[in-house]
């Protein structure tokens, strides 16, 4: 599966009994996301911008994407950067949804 495959997928609702991804599954998906890192039960990346306007435009694009996918990241926003972190709170770990959304955020940032 490539990043392109991930961006072509749609997030699935978390259903009862859904389990977090195993570490080997995470290890297979994470290299597809340029610059993303795993910290315990989340994946994250910090994006850098020239100014506040570009940062907020990126945040707004993430908000639109998150609403469409019904899967929402934790964001840390400052003047010239935005930290994006995904985890699936309902299952207390990482799901494929986190990687799908991270790939779509990554696609927003590419020229």
**pLDDT tens track for 47-70:** 999 999 999 999 999 999 999 999
- pTM comes to 0.90
Give the per-residue pLDDT at 26: 97
Q: Which fold has domain 20-109?
A: Gyrase A; domain 2 (3.30.1360)
Q: What strand order describes the sheet that includes 74-78?
A: 37-39, 42-48, 81-86, 74-78
Using alpha carbons, select from 56, 60, 53, 33 the residue that is nearest to residue 44: 33
Say which residue, 75 or 16, is predicted with more confidence: 75
Give the per-residue pLDDT at 2: 53
When pLDDT is cut at 50, 70 and 90, the band that residue 11 belongs to is: confident
Report the chain's mean pLDDT, rounded to a whole number. 91
């Amino acid at each position: 599966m490539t990043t392109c495959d991930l961006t072509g997928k749609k997030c699935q609702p978390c259903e009862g009994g859904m389990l977090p991804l195993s570490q080997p599954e995470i290890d297979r998906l994470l290299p597809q996301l340029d610059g993303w890192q795993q910290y315990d039960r989340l994946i994250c990346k910090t994006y850098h911008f020239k100014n506040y306007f570009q940062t907020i435009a990126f945040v707004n694009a993430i908000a639109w994407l998150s609403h469409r996918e019904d899967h929402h990241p934790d964001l840390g926003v400052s003047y010239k950067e935005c930290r994006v972190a995904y985890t699936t709170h309902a299952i207390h770990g990482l799901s494929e949804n986190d990687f799908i959304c991270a790939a779509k955020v990554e696609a927003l940032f590419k020229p």
